[in-house]
Structures are given as C-alpha cells and as structure tokens.
Chains A and B, each alone.
Chain A
Amino acid sequence: MSEAVQTLDADTKSAIDIDREKGDFRYPENHKYDAGSGLSSATIDYICDVKGDKDWVREFRHRALKVFEGKPMPTHWATKDLENIDFDKIRYYLSDGAKPKRTWDEVPDDVKETFERLGIPEQERAFLAGVEAQFDSEAAYSNVKEELSKEGVIFVNSNEGLNEYADIFRPYFGKVIPTGDNKFSALNSAVFSGGSFIYVPKGVKVKHPLQAYFRINSENFGQFERTLIICDEGAELTYMEGCTAPKFETATLHSAVVELVALKGAKIQYITVQNWSSNVFNLVTKRGLAMEDAEVRWIDCNIGSRLTMKYPGVVMKGEGARGEVISIALANDGQHQDTGAKMIHAADNTTSNVVSKSISVGEGRSTYRGQVHIPKHLKGCKNNTECDALLINSSSRTDTYPAITVKGNQHATQHEASVSQVSEEMLFYLQQRGLSEAEAMSLAVNGFVNELVREFPMEYSVELKRLIELEMEGSVG
C-alpha cells in the first residue's frame, strides 16, 4: 500500500470510523440495589431476593454458577485477552429497584435524558411498535403499542416473563442455549437480569419492529441481559437491539444470552447495532431454533468494544427451515472483533446463508469463525458462506477459521473468502475527482459494506446513518 495510506492522519481515521463519541457520557450512579463486587452464591441469593425469583429460577441460577466455576476460559482457541477479565472486581447487579415505566414521563430524569440523547423516544414515535430501555441491570422503560397487546403479543423483561408467563416461556428457557454451552452462557444463566421476553401468537405478523436498547452507565459493571423470543406458528417479528456505554478507565463486561424460537412457518429477524466503547468485553451467545419452514435471520453490526466474541447460530430443526447470518464488523486500534456464524442443519431441505464483512483499521484485528454442520443422514441441504475482509493499514489483521462439516452427497455448499485492501489506484482515482484522502477512504469502505448496510433499517441508528449518508439511490426519480 502507498505510504499515504499507511500513515493515516486523524481525519482519515475519523472518516473511516463512525460515530464513536455518541454514547460517551454518563450520569452519577443512583442505585438502591447493588450486589457488590465479586461473584459467589451469596451474590446469586441477593439477586434472587431483589427480583423475587421463584424457587426453580433460584435453583437454575445456582446450578449455572457451579457450571461457570467449573469451566475453564476457552483460551485454547480464543484470545488470551479473556484472562484480563477480573471476575472479582465486577459488580453483577445494580438497579434503582423501580419497575419499568410505561411512559417516558415517569422515567427518572437522568435515565430519561440518557435515552433521549441516544434518540430512543424519538425513534419509538417514528417507527417502532414497542421499546424496552435497559439501564444497567433493569429496564427503566418498557412499552408496547396497544394494538399489539390486544393481539396477544407479550413484550416484557426476563423477570416478568419467568414470573408471570412461566407457562409460555419456561418450556423454551435455556433450551436453545443450555447453561453449559460455554463459560459465558453459564455466567449469564447465573446472574441474568433484564432483557426481553417476547411471545408472538399464531399467525400474528408484527408490522413494525420491537426494539430494546441496552445502556451501561456504571463502572466495573457487568450487564447480563437475557432474551427469549418465541414466534408461534406463522407469526412474524423484527426485533432490534442497540447498545452503548461510556468510556470508563476500567474494563466493563457485557455477556448476554439470546434465544429465538421460530415455530412452524414463523419468521424472526433479529437486528443488532452495537457501538460499545473500547473497553467493553462483549461476550454474547445467540442462537435460534427454526422449525418446519421457519426462518431465523441474524443481522449484526459490531462496532467498538475491546473484544467481541459472538457467533450467532441457527439450528434448522424442521424440514425446509432457513437460517441466515449477515454481519459487519469494524475493528479499530486496540479492538478485536471475533465474530462469525454457526449453522446447524438438523432436517432435510434446510438452507443456510452466511455473509460476513469485516474491516480492520490501524492495529485492529478481525477474526471470522464459521461452523456449518450437515450430517450424513440428511438430504437436500444447502449452505452458502461468504466472508470478506478489508484491511486498511499494513498493521491491520484478519484471520478466517471456517469449519464446514458436510457428510453425505446430497447437499450443496459453497464457501468464498476474500481479503482485500483499498488499492492505491482506487484512492488515486477517487482523489483525482476531488475527494480528500479521508473522503476517498470513507467512500471505498462504504462501498465495501454497502450491500449489507441495506439490510439494516434506515431509521435505526445515527451510527449507520453516517455510513449510508452518501447513499441516496432512487431518492430522485
């Protein structure tokens, strides 16, 4: 690459990067309930008491703690940076003890201001069917449009879901992602709080998206939301989540578990735009179960964080089920985006598609890990995997670890991977037309992710708006 590109100036970097400062503010802590630092069975009991957990939930948490303690860090394949998480310094539960409010007027001023600065109430009015806004451990606001409630749509936090709608949620809770799936799913199972529990009844197609926003406000805090979405037969839902945290001096941990269940003919689309600050360990387990003719799509944008490890998966358990993962990752200096997808084919004629694009800037590092599993006894399964990496500087790094296991000969799979750089000739061409080097780089990067950015709803976030601001195709006929 040209010298000019290797020595990117600050302007260029900020042009490539997107709105990283938006979430960097905080309010003083105001917690009535604080589980203190460190994790023990006493911490679990404290959380259970505050939340009024039923006995089976308390037992579930205690069992999970033992599994967590018994599992080693997965550093035999994952980065050693995981060892820098100090579980004794983390605070596992912080809340003001108030129930989620149904109107923004009832939400405490500092919390309300936080979400206003992030644009959440505005988005709700504009295009959302329901919103849950989580502040540290608990939801401060939760509301769903009346017509959806009338149709029987349930949109509550995990506490309400397990306490008040146990007959609906308990059969699937912890079934798509068992406690012992990995060390961090076990941790979440022990201390989970907040998150969304959603049920969409048979045949109900939710037109507008439901949204959750996860906000970390306190230092040395661990956020462990738990989400379970069930779409009954023929139901359809789009769910979106966003996340930010201020820049703290010390590391913060975010470790969620998200389980999706799409029953026969149902469709779930789960969209994430994360913009964590650069000291958040973001270690998330996400998996969907797709029954006969059902569809689960994960659309994932990973920006920021110190380390993200996230491999959304789909288990295609019914004939004709479809799974899809579309992801964009941007790793800047000091960041490692370790992302990918898991596609488990468990029925005939199932189809999966994975499209992943990563951008590594400066010393940033992106890793793709993909797993596709098609066993011998099945027939007519298809998988398509594409992963493309763009390296901006000579010090940027990318690695790809695809694991495709296909047994039997009645399947079709294809895998394409590419690593590219923004070529000197492309930059020269763009600059010759009047664009500064920063603008040229920004345009080239936009082009690289463009086909995937279109999968995200335009209104969703300021972050993506900046990425797509140059795109106005078809707006003038």
Chain B
Amino acid sequence: MSLIVKDLHAGIEGNEIIKGLSLEVPKGEVHAIMGPNGSGKSTLSKVISGHTDYAVKSGSVTLDGEDLLEMEIDERSRAGLFLAFQYPAEVPGVSNANFIRAALQSRLPKGKELDAVAYYKDLYSKMDALGIDRKFTARSVNEGFSGGEKKRNEVLQMMMLDPKYCVMDETDSGLDIDALKVVAQGVNSMRSPDRGFLIITHYQRLLDYIEPDHVHVLAGGKIVRSGGKELALELEARGYDFLKEETLTTA
C-alpha cells in the first residue's frame, strides 16, 4: 500500500518541469523531498493533487493501486490524498467550521447528514491540541490569518479529514520556531502505520521536529539522491551546490 510516482514527466504551458521522477511512499513512512528553488518541488505537489494548470506528459501516479491521474481534484481528495498548501487560499464569508464540515460532508453518501454535535466535539478537541482559539471556527477561511495561523489551519484540516497520504508543501515557510513546533507536533501525532507522508521542504529545519524515514533530493525535475535522515544534515552543511557538480559528473 503506497503512493507511487513512476517515471513522471509533467509541466506547465509546454515547459517540462518534472523530468522522469519516480518515488514510492509506503504507508507508515515519512519521506522528505528537499531541493533548491526551481527544482520542481511545488510542481510535484500540484501534479499529484490534480491542479488543472499542470499537464502530465507521461508516467503514472497511483494511490494504493488506484490511478490518481484519471481522477478529478476532489475525487483524489476523497480517495485519501491531502495537500497541505504552501499558500492556502482565502475564502471570504465562509467560516472555518462550515468549510471543514462541508469537506467532511462530501465524504458521506448522498442523503446522509453529518452528525453536527459529534463534529464540533471532534473539531474542538483537535483545535485544543493545536492551541487554536475557539473563535477560529467563526472566522472566514484563512482570511486575515497570519502565516502561522494558516499553517495550523492546514494541519487542523489534515487531522479532521484523516487522509491516507499527506503531501505537505513547504509547510515550514513563514513559520517562527514556536509555530513550527506546534505544526510538527500535529504531524507527529498523526504518524501511523496507516498513513504516509511526503514532506516537501527547502530547509532541513522542519526535519529536526519531524524525523523522516527517507530523504530525497530533487534537482532538475528528478530525484538525484536518496538516503536516510543524515542526507538532510549533509545538505544543510554543504548546501545544494555540491549536487550540481555531482549531477554533472554522473550525467
């Protein structure tokens, strides 16, 4: 049972950005993808989740054997894929509580109503765990949120929707150290043998708090190196520049 990306070629407006990327994230594991700016990290998250601006030329993406590329954006979500956004959108006039409720409702069979009392109980306990104020439920989705609040909201939604695979796109960007710790705690509390994580990050910092099982280095649209968590530390110490030399010599 895995999220599997196989020989993926994809891009935007005719520009190929992902150039033959392969990756397997089995349930129960946390994989980190690191890479310099422009290496294709965010493109990968958009392609997996089905953003219509991006086109897939070849390759496959499957979730527990199901072909994700054949599915609409919302079908992928309901199949168990969650994307924590680097820049979550604002939805004016729609309260967080109603938004998350609508997302849960979309997972129920037609005609079945979400149990509102149980829903709020669950929501409040998870908000408490993330140190989110109760007033948050009535605020419009992400509108006027600080960077930290937005990322906490992403983790809250992730906890509420209970996905099989979480793709986290630069979740650490714009976070101070306290917010980072809270977010990491939330993620760690969700680690389980039934869930896989793909954590996309530019910096090693986040990985101090969320310990990955595997680290992959993305450069030029493909994975150029894979290793254990020590690879992240090596990147932190040496920077991404050494990769360029290595890729040149191995090419």
Nearest chain A CB to B113 CB, angstrom units? 11
- Known A-B contacts A428-B73, A471-B98; the reply to A476 vs B91 at CB < 8 A is no
Q: Which of B77, B92, B137 contacts A431 (CB 8 A)?
A: B77
Q: Which of B102-110, B195-203, B217-225, B239-247 contacts A (4 or more CB under 8 A)?
A: B102-110
Could you say which of A58-66, A225-233, A243-251, A446-454 contacts chain B? A446-454
Name A436's closest neighbour in chain B (CB-CB): B74
Residues from 76 to 104 in B contacting A, C-beta threshold 8 Å: 76-78, 82-83, 85, 88-95, 97-103
B52 with A4: CB separation less than 8 A = yes
A:438-470 near B, CB below 8 Å: 439-440, 443-444, 446-451, 470
- Give Cα A426 to B143, complex, Å: 12
Measured CB to CB, the closest approach of chain A to B145, in angstroms, equals 13
- Asked if B97 and A473 sit within 8 Å, CB to CB, the answer is yes
Residue in A2, A435, A449, A473 whose CB lies within 8 Å of B74: A435
Given contacts A2-B52, A472-B116, contact A435 B103 (CB under 8 A): yes
Residue B117, interface by CB 8 Å:
yes
Contact: B138 with A474, CB < 8 Å? yes
Whether A127 sits at the interface, judged by CB under 8 Å, is no
Residue of B nearest to A474 (CB): B138
How far does the alpha carbon of A472 sit from the alpha carbon of B100 in the complex, in Å? 12
Partner of A451, one of B74, B90, B93, B107: B93
User: A313 to B72, alpha carbons, bound, how many Å?
Assistant: 48
Say if the beta carbon of B205 comes within 8 Å of chain A: no
A431 and B119 alpha carbons, distance in the complex (Å): 20
Q: Which residues of B contact A424 (CB under 8 A)?
A: 52-53
List chain A residues, Cβ under 8 A from B100.
Answer: 433
Chain A contributes a number of interface residues (CB within 8 A of B) equal to 34
Q: Does the CB pair B107–A434 fall under 8 Å?
A: yes
Residue from A2, A429, A447, A451 within 8 A of B88 (CB atoms)? A429
Q: Contact between B116 and A450 (Cβ–Cβ < 8 Å)?
A: no
Are A443 and B94 in contact, CB atoms less than 8 angstroms apart? yes
A430 within 8 A of B: yes
Q: Is A437 an interface residue (CB 8 A)?
A: yes
Chain B proximity of A450: nearest CB distance (Å) = 4
A426–B102 contact, CB under 8 A? no
Q: Report whether B89 and A429 are in contact in the complex, using a CB–CB cutoff of 8 Å.
A: yes
Given A439-B102, A472-B116, A473-B137, CB of A432 within 8 Å of CB of B49? yes
Least CB distance from B160 to A in Å reads 10
- Count how many pairs of residues, one from A and one from B, have CB atoms less than 8 Å apart in the complex: 103
B92 CB contacts on chain A under 8 angstroms: 447-448
Q: B140 touching A434 by the CB < 8 A rule?
A: no
The interface residues of chain A lying within 8 Å CB-to-CB of B57 are none
- Interface centre among A423, A424, A447, by most B CB within 10 Å? A447
The complex places the Cα of A424 from the Cα of B107 at a distance, in Å, of 22
Q: Check A434–B89 contact: CB distance below 8 A.
A: no
Contact between A429 and B77 (Cβ–Cβ < 8 Å)? no
CA of A444 to CA of B137, assembled, Å: 17
Q: Which of chain A's residues have a CB closer than 8 A to the CB of B99?
A: 430, 433, 443
Closest to B134 in A: A477
In the complex, whether A105 has a CB less than 8 A from a CB of chain B is no
| Other-chain residue from A423, A428, A434, A447 in contact with B94 (beta carbon distance below 8 A) | A447
- Give residues 204-236 of B contacting A (CB, 8 Å): none
Complex: A13 Cα to B51 Cα, angstroms: 22
- Shortest CB-to-CB span from B74 to chain A, Å, is 5
Chain B nearest CB from A387 CB (Å) reads 16
CA distance A3 to B52 in the complex (A): 9
CA separation between A434 and B89, bound complex, in Å? 15
Name the B residues within 8 Å of A448 (CB-CB): 92-93
Closest to A440 in B: B74
CA distance A233 to B77 in the complex (A): 59
Q: For the complex, give the distance between the alpha carbons of A472 and B114 in Å.
A: 12
Query: Does A425 sit at the interface, judged by CB under 8 A?
Result: yes
Selected contact of A426 from candidates B77, B82, B90, B137, CB within 8 Å: B90
Instruction: Give B49's nearest chain A residue, CB to CB.
Output: A432
Q: Which of A396-434 contact B (CB under 8 A)?
A: 423-426, 428-434
Contact A432 B93 (CB under 8 A): no
Report the minimal beta-carbon distance from B91 to chain A, rounded to whole angstroms.
Answer: 6
Query: In the bound complex, do residue A434 and residue B52 qualify as a contact, i.e. CB atoms below 8 Å apart?
Result: no
B136 CB, nearest partner CB in chain A, Å: 12
Instruction: Write the B123-163 contact mask toward A (1 if CB under 8 angstroms, else 0).
Output: 00000000000000110100000000000000001000100
Interface residues of A in 343-371 (CB under 8 A from B): none
Known: A4-B52, A426-B91, A470-B102. A433 touches B116 (CB 8 A): no
- Nearest to A433 among chain B residues (CB) is B103
CB neighbours (8 Å) of B120 from chain A are 476
Find out whether the CB atom of B89 lies under 8 angstroms from the CB atom of A423. yes
- Which of chain B's residues have a CB closer than 8 A to the CB of A434? 74, 77-78, 103, 106-107, 161
A-chain residues with CB within 8 Å of residue B116 when the two chains form the complex: 472, 475-476
- Whether B138 pairs with A446 at a CB distance below 8 angstroms is no
A451 to B93, CA, bound (A): 7
Which residues in A have their C-beta under 8 angstroms from that of B117?
476
- Given A431-B74, A473-B97, CB of A444 within 8 Å of CB of B106: no
A426 touches B161 (CB 8 A): no
* Most chain B Cβ neighbours within 10 Å, of A448, A449, A475, A476: A476
Determine if A447 and B97 form an interchain contact, defined as CB atoms under 8 angstroms apart. Answer: no
Q: Which residues from chain B sit less than 8 Å from chain A, CB to CB?
A: 49, 51-53, 72-74, 76-78, 82-83, 85, 88-95, 97-103, 106-107, 116-117, 119-120, 137-138, 140, 157, 161
24 A-B contacts, Cβ less than 8 Å apart?
Answer: A2-B52, A3-B52, A423-B89, A429-B91, A430-B91, A432-B49, A432-B73, A432-B74, A433-B77, A433-B99, A433-B161, A435-B103, A436-B74, A436-B106, A439-B102, A443-B91, A450-B93, A450-B94, A473-B97, A474-B138, A476-B116, A476-B117, A476-B119, A476-B120
The 4 A-B residue pairs whose C-beta atoms are closest, nearest first, are A447-B93, A447-B94, A450-B93, A429-B89
* Sample of 15 further A-B pairs with CB below 8 A, known A431-B73, A434-B161, A474-B138: A3-B52, A426-B91, A429-B85, A429-B88, A430-B89, A434-B77, A435-B106, A436-B72, A443-B94, A444-B94, A449-B93, A471-B95, A473-B98, A476-B117, A476-B119
